[in-house]
Amino acid sequence: MNYSTLQLEVLEKSAEIVINRPEAMNALNSQVFRDINAALDEIEQNDKLCAVIITGSGKAFVAGADIAEMSDMGPSEARVFSTTGQDTFNRLANFKIPVIAAINGFALGGGCELAMGCDMRIASNLAKFGQPEVNLGLIPGYFGMKRLADIVGLSNALYLLCTADMIDAAEALRLGLVQKITEPEELMNEARKIASKIASKGKMSVAKVKQVTVQGTDLNFSDARKLEIEAFASMFGTPEATEGMKAFLEKRKPNW
């Protein structure tokens, strides 16, 4: 399938989504959201895939939401635009396989929110992060305030949100916003290494880890505990777990 705002490449065990609006610094508009969802639909149909990598073309990951589209919106249109973005990023957060953000450049506003909707984030040492919405008299609209506070802590989040300061990759790493920094030319290679490492594990167990971890963050201790017990028990007797434990005892790699 052809997409007007992104490129999708399906490899043997992973897929790569490249947001491709370099003339607009890959700004998020309604068509980008439609294309991301269509690409995820396509990926979901391929049972061989174990990970998704999302990156941007040119010098930006995503430099924000498309102000040209937003400038004429009233409250009702803005509500739809916010809901569409939240639904898209929530889909990434709850996608059945891990999603890796490979942040090659500016990840600002909606771009930072997109990155935070992914399961893990690696960044070029040239990457920049920020939530500059208050510079426009606006606030983040894609669940970025909650996700940022969850990731970096309440006070750090409020500092970044209220000052609109832009931070570099090293500071993002210190705050826990990214997990790894690479040289620009090594970014995609590193993302592919991570995807390949994930693909070498039990696919069902990786999917279950993601599901339980994400669901557990919204539960109280008692309910999260019960969720983990039931999920743990459900893996026993599956072909994947049977083969994994047998391979361990036989001191060989599992044949998945």
pTM over 0.85: yes
User: What crossing angle do the helices spanning 203-216 and 221-235 adopt, rounded to 10°?
Assistant: 170
Q: Residue ranges of the domains in the chain? A: 6-199, 203-249
User: What does residue 54 show for φ and ψ, rounded to 5 degrees?
Assistant: -120, 130
- The topology under which CATH files domain 6-199 is 2-enoyl-CoA Hydratase; Chain A, domain 1 (3.90.226)
Per-residue pLDDT of the chain (256 residues; tens, 9 = 90+): 899 999 999 999 999 999 999 999 999 999 999 999 999 999 999 999 999 999 999 999 999 999 999 999 999 999 999 999 999 999 999 999 999 999 999 999 999 999 999 999 999 999 999 999 999 999 999 999 999 999 999 999 999 999 999 999 999 999 999 999 999 999 999 999 999 999 999 999 999 999 999 999 999 999 999 999 999 999 999 999 999 999 999 999 999 8
Query: Is the CATH number 1.10.12.10 carried by domain 203-249?
Result: yes
Distances (CA, A) of 192 to 34, 67, 224: 25, 32, 32
Residues 77, 133, 183, 230: which is the catalytic one? 133
Instruction: Select which of 113, 183, 185, 230 is catalytic.
Output: 113
Active site residue 42: no
Active site residue 113: yes
